[in-house]
Amino acid sequence: MIPPGPYLLLLGDPGTGKSLIGRALAEILTKLYKENKIQLQDVVCWPNNVIPSEPKISCHPAGKGKKIVLKEKLKRAKKMYLQKIGIKLLIYFLIAVAFVFIGAGFYYLWQEKLKWDANAPGPFGPVQDVYNGNFQKFMIDAFISIGSTTFLPAGMMLLFLVLIVVLGRFGFLGGAKGIGGAKSLGDVPKLIVDNSRKVAPFVDATGHRSAQLFGSIAWDPLQTGGLGTPEHQRVTAGDVHRAHLGILYIDEIKNLGPEDAITLLTVLEDGQLPITMRSKWHDVGTAAMAVATEPVPCMCFLVGAGNFDSINQIHPALMDRFYGYGKVVRMNNDMPNTVENRRKYVQFIAQEVKRFHLIPFSREACEEIIDEGRRRSGKKDALTTRFRPLVSIIKTAATLAMLEGEKIVKRKHVKEAIEKHCKTIQKQILEHQMRERGRFLEIRPYGKKVGQIYGLGVVMDPYSGEMTGNVLIVKGFIEKRNRRNKSLKGYYKVTGIAKHGKEKFIADSIDKVRSVILRKYGVDIAQEYFTHIDFAQAYGVDGPSAGVTMTILLCSLLEGKPIRQDVAVTGEINIGVDDSIQVTAVGGVHEKILAAQMWGFKKVVIPAKNYMYSIDPKDYEIEVVPAETLEDYLKECLAEEEKHAPVVTQRKQKRKIPVK
């Protein structure tokens, strides 16, 4: 009794190398089999002369299956050849005998004519006297008497030859093509699992249904009457049988139907499964439904794969096997940015160059691809493990270099591939929309203004998660409420933002901005002022990264200091508990910086945490400045001179007397 398992379930984003792990395991199995002298098996399906609907199964060492089938084919071919030779000899013999009889008939008729010419005496007198000189009547009587022993047997032989030729054309005599051509292989076995390569099999069964997974019996419309293909010749092994002693890999395993999952559990527990007709057309009455082979071995190692949402969609019993007899592994989207891993990146580039027959890459080109891997990871000290998009960059860069007649790929080719040719269709659509929208935006990244600031946001595709940067024009108005007129109440409005939906992150930012201003200046912008912030030329803006933008705008209005228009900002504002107001990290910083760079801004201020863990300033032509507190942001954004009278002076912080 062989214990079940081990089984492996790999969960992670697409392109993180789940199938590569399965192939690597197959290579490891091959080495283990060679070291321990474990032989793979070929499976041969034989006819069952006693019960034709139950073909027999035999297992043989890898490579022997082809030899057995070839031997049986040669034996069958020899038999068919001898049969053909015998039939041909019989035909030639019958033709010769028929011609002998025909020749004898004509010879005897000629002798009768000689008798007539000589008027030879007969039993009743001379021949001519008996027939009164009627030669025609004499020859007819002679033909009848002679033909019954010569021409008639010859005619019967020739008619038999015609029947032999006709039957041979339809294959009833073997070896002929046509309706009965498959009967020529009636006794020849069929090789249904071939491991002649002697390599542990890796079978990718992603998206396969029952017939492909577990084998099937082909439906033959001419199965009745003995005219169709023999039962054993219509047997097709499934993925589980071909993966015997190897890796059965199923990606998107959550899409496996309940019936298929239960059958797969039987395979994993028993290690064998008969091949019978498996199809969604269960109610069709055909002869194939009655065919079932002997159990076929299928002791395979299951490697399932899927995204993180697959956990709750996999059949519970199958998931229980993964937990009980195997491992559930979370695939990393990145790996440490070490010298060893950078060398592995170069090795990966070399492998792709060899696989696609490309020209070699220069050191600078390899460094640019490694830097792109770092940027795609979203971390300064990590490299992405989603290699499939990088393959496209490698191929495109090499193609660009070859079109220019270069013998080596340079950094400029890699940059051109990244910036122009290797973007997903979702990202292309987003950037096209932003370019079209940009024609109407009033973005002027120069000068200084009070009451206007440029914030940075991202536009995201809801299905693929692709992002592109977006520059937001944020304008503000604030006026102190006249306390004498008690009928007028202050207000705090923000327009151009998302007002519907379950997740309105910007609503929390709006509330935090109010509290931050209250803490910093000691005024309530919603009660003591008429405050209006507008995300101009925008609609449905959402996300926490607009918090610091609105705060800086209000600080400019309250203090009367202009804002530098060549600076763009992003960051999440937080309520301070100490002497400072913290600005924390946000997402999509890389795309935001690229958007600001495209629009011609001179400086981008981002949270210090983003700068520390995910941003390398060498990747950009624009100046990237880290900031940790609101005061850091104000130093970079507000101009020194005051063009307008401040609405309110900053509240002095009370000194805290330490308690001894």
What is residue 290's predicted lDDT score, i.e. its pLDDT?
77
What sign for the dihedral angle of Cα 531, 535, 536, 540? negative
* pLDDT, tens digit (0-9, with 9 covering 90-100), for 112-143: 888 787 877 766 667 777 777 788 888 888 88
CATH architecture of 334-422: Orthogonal Bundle (1.10)
Return d(Cα 637, Cα 411) in angstroms, integer: 35
Q: Specify which residues 472 forms β-bridges with.
A: 455
At 338 the three-state DSSP class reads coil
Q: Which pair of structure tokens corresponds to residue 262?
A: 């239960």
pLDDT at 187: 80
pTM, two decimal places: 0.73
* pLDDT greater than 80 at residue 186: no
- pLDDT tens for residues 309-328? 888 889 898 898 888 888 99
State the DSSP H helix or E strand holding residue 448, giving kind and residue range, or none if neither: strand 448-449
pLDDT category, 657, cuts 50, 70, 90? very low
- In angstroms, the Cα distances linking 601 to 568, 589, 635 are 7, 15, 17
SS3 state at 573:
strand
pLDDT of residue 432: 83
* pLDDT band, residue 561 (cuts 50/70/90): very high
Angle at 226 between CA 222 and CA 230, to 5 degrees: 80
Q: What is the residue extent of each domain of the chain?
A: 7-50+198-330, 69-184, 334-422, 445-637
Residue 426: the pLDDT is: 83
Q: What is the CATH number of domain 7-50+198-330?
A: 3.40.50.300
| 3-state SS record for 515-554 | HHHHHHHCCCCCCCEEEEEEEECCCCECCHHHHHHHHHHH
For the sheet containing 247-250, what is the strand order?
202-204, 247-250, 301-306, 7-11, 326-330
pLDDT at 173: 54
654 as an active site residue: the answer is no
Instruction: Mark 487-512 as b/e (b = at least 16 C-beta within 10 Å).
Output: eeebebebebbeeeeeebebeebbeb
C-alpha span between 621 and 619 (Å, rounded): 7
Query: Higher model confidence: residue 182 or residue 635?
Result: 635
Q: Which of 216, 545, 556, 614 is catalytic?
A: 545
Active-site residue identified among 183, 423, 592, 609: 592
Give the C-alpha separation, 156 to 511, whole Å.
111
Say whether 592 is catalytic. yes
Of 571 and 165, which is predicted with more confidence? 571
Q: What is the mean pLDDT of residues 288-311?
A: 87
| Model confidence pLDDT, tens digit, residues 405-461 | 999 999 999 999 999 999 888 888 888 888 888 878 888 999 999 999 999 998 887
Q: H/E/C letters for each residue in 140-207? A: HHHHHHHHCCCHHHHHHHHHHHHHHHHHHHCCCCCCCCCCCHHHHHCCCCEEEECCCCCCCCEEECCC
Structure confidence by residue, pLDDT tens digits, 362-406: 999 999 999 999 999 988 899 999 998 999 999 999 999 999 999
Third-level CATH fold of 445-637: Ribosomal Protein S5; domain 2 (3.30.230)
